[in-house]
Amino acid sequence: MSDITLKGENGQYLLFDPTLVGNVLGEGGMGRVLRGSKLDTNGGIMRDANGKEVKVAIKILFRESTDRPERIERFRREASVRIKHKNLGEVFDFIEDNGRYHIVTEFLEGETLERRIALLNKNRQTFTISQAKQIMLDLANGLEAFHNKYVHRDVKPSNIMLVPNRGAVLFDYGIVKDKDDYITGLTTEGSFIGTEFYTSPEQINGITDLINKSTDIYSLGIVLFEMLTGHVPFDGDRKLVEDGHLKKKIPLHNKLNKNAYNLIVNATAKDQKYRYKNISQFIDDLQKLPDGKISLIQNEGQTKKIIVAGAISALILIGCLAYFLKSGDGHPKQDNSVPATSVTSPATQSQGAGDSVATVPPSPETANPMEETHTDPVYESNNKNSNDKITDKKHHKRNNSSQKEQSPAESNEPPPSVKTGGEY
């Protein structure tokens, strides 16, 4: 099969022969990603101001998926995400041609974060906090723009490209959710969608109403943990991983200082009320790394409860004091009476005079003021349960829902192996 010319609403593109392994960039659950080029109005290869070929990546829906309307609709809606930001992959076009469906996006030259982590692991290394911080800031800036309309729902290292002179770029919008719920009907209540190693509790439980900006922040926190430690916090079979996200605390690790650990805990709280609500909050704390103090959101919430409880107790005490000190007319009770002098006849004097006794109410005791306390959970860097050994992790070979590798041209590794034989 030769190269194929595709015409879309926003331009013309040349799809390189899809049967050749060298043209395959990656493959996922719904389709294959191939190399291509943008064409100019004369049908020639378009070149930029520096005379460099304008490359594109073309994602093709698998032929067997073309009989499933819901997959075609999801594919179409993935192509509808049109946001231009240096930290987000740009979508150019959606093309239907001879019963095949294509999404045309910009070609990102670099390596995925997944690949970079794996290479560091081979050398028993991890990202430093400063290195990870810059990548996280890039991703957070991109998501801040993305969250104006969408929730990504699949933030993970294989969907993050490290592009020279540009930084980290988030791409692949295959399971994006519109904030206005336009994707309703494709994701049913109670169904799981995402990649379990980076997925929030609300995604695992399929609670679509709770999937929001903080869902992507949860995934960012897991990615940060992996960058700093070399592995995800919860690994193993799917059930074990999901149980970890639902029930277990983020493990301590000697590669995490207290501030980095607290930031990750805030990003990955099981209960969303203790999680960063938006990217701005995440960025504010991220910029404090490595040495700025980052407090746990859950502790701050508990401190506020103590303050409120103390204020209520003080009001009750004041009310009690007022009740005991005030009389019916609203004035404090005072005993100003003077004992009366009685004059009796000699006959009665022998009987004695009655003594008058005044009873004074006891003064209420003053309650001790409540002292506000605030303690962070004990942080131990030498946790015996932490896995300090960094090895070449197997989970980078997991069958992710959308794995794609756009390696730089200078890479010496062979391109990924895919099925060929003329199938398109």
Query: Which pLDDT score is estimated for 321?
Result: 72
**Does this chain's domain 9-107 share its CATH topology with 110-294+381-411?**
no
Domain limits of the chain? 9-107, 110-294+381-411
Paired strand residues for 37: 14, 55
Indicate the class that CATH gives domain 110-294+381-411: mainly alpha
Q: In the beta sheet, which residues pair with residue 32?
A: 27, 60
Check: CB of residue 262 under 8 Å from CB of residue 294: yes
Rg (CA), the chain: 34
Q: Which residues, in sequence order, are bridge partners of residue 162?
A: 111, 168
- The Cα 32–Cα 20 span in angstroms is 12
- pLDDT reported for residue 331: 52
Is the distance from CB of 402 to CB of 159 less than 8 angstroms? yes
* Residues 334, 327: Cα–Cα separation, whole Å: 9
The model's pLDDT over 109-127, given as tens digits with 9 standing for 90+, comes to: 999 999 999 999 999 999 9
Six token digits for residue 3: 């190269």
pLDDT values of the chain reduced to their tens digit, one per residue, 424 residues: 789 999 999 999 999 998 898 999 998 888 999 999 999 999 999 999 999 999 999 999 999 999 899 999 999 999 999 999 999 999 999 999 999 999 999 999 999 999 999 999 999 999 999 999 999 999 999 999 999 999 999 999 999 999 999 999 999 999 999 877 544 445 555 566 789 999 999 999 999 999 999 999 999 999 999 999 999 999 999 999 999 999 999 999 999 999 999 999 999 999 999 999 999 999 999 999 999 999 999 976 544 444 555 557 667 777 767 766 765 555 555 555 445 444 444 444 444 444 444 444 444 444 444 444 444 443 444 444 444 444 444 444 454 444 444 444 444 554 444 444 445 5
Would you say 150 and 178 are in contact if contact means Cβ atoms under 8 Å apart? Answer: yes
Q: Which long-range contacts (CB under 8 A, 24 or more apart) does 335-343 make?
A: 335/360
Nearest residue to 74 (alpha-carbon basis) of 149, 184, 180, 202: 184
Of 145, 408, 104, 158, whose CA–CA distance to 279 is shortest? 145
Residue 171, both tokens: 């791409």
Tell me the whole-structure pTM to 2 decimals.
Answer: 0.71
Superfamily of 9-107 according to CATH = Phosphorylase Kinase; domain 1 (3.30.200.20)
DSSP type of residue 225:
H
* pLDDT (0 to 100) of residue 309: 52
pLDDT of residue 203: 95
